[in-house]
Amino acid sequence: MDNRMLAAKISDENKRIKYYSNQLFDLVKKEFATRRIDMYDYERFINILTCLNLTVDDTRKDIDDFIKLETRRRVKIDLLV
């Protein structure tokens, strides 16, 4: 597997992680609203999900930079005179 394919796979995984973390966030809000969890647990879940989302955003930025760098390296220009 070359680097670009690996980067694309990681990017897809990041999208999936973001989707699942949004589902967990909705679930935690619902559980807090129905008083099944207290404020401490709610804040703990929110902090974990925020850290996860920030990590995913940083990874996405790194992957995008890598793809741009790889794309620039592979471009060749042929000039005919």
What integer pLDDT is reported at residue 43 of this predicted model? 94
Compute the residue count for the chain: 81
Positive or negative torsion for Cα 27, 29, 35, 37: positive
How far the first Cα of the chain sits from its last, in Å, is 38
pLDDT > 60? residue 75: no
What letter does residue 81 receive in the DSSP assignment? -
Model-level pTM? 0.70
On the 0-12 / 13-18 / 19+ scale of CB atoms within 10 A, 38 is exposed
The string of pLDDT tens digits covering residues 19-63 is: 999 999 999 999 999 989 999 999 999 999 999 999 999 998 988
Return the structure tokens found at 24: 């967990």
Q: Is the pLDDT of residue 9 over 90?
A: no
Residue with tokens 């394919």: 5
